[in-house]
Amino acid sequence: MPLNLQPNIPDPDGFYQELIDSQRDMSAEQAEMMNCKLVLVLANHIGDREVLRAALKAAGGKMG
């Protein structure tokens, strides 16, 4: 399945609030560490290297 860049999250405002709330009491450094972990957790869930590559690109990553 190709990378889905169409709206896919039910209750987008609710999700966004949950994301912000999950880091509300963290220092910038703690939040950055959590972001790294979150990327790794989600990347593993996706697993498909093609999709991950497309996601890196969609996020503005420099691809070799």
**Among residues 7 and 61, whose Cβ is nearest to another protein?**
61
List residues binding another protein (CB under 8 A).
Answer: 32-33, 36-37, 39-41, 44
**Among residues 27 and 44, whose Cβ is nearest to another protein?**
44
Strand runs labelled E in 1-64: none
Please, which residues have CB within 8 angstroms of residue 62's CB and are 6 or more apart in sequence? none
**Among residues 6 and 62, whose Cβ is nearest to another protein?**
62
- Residue 43 C-beta: closest distance to another protein, Å: 9
Query: Whole-angstrom Cα distance, residue 9 to residue 13?
Result: 9
64 secondary structure, DSSP code: -
Q: Which residue has the tokens 């880091």?
A: 23
- Residue 18 C-beta: closest distance to another protein, Å: 20
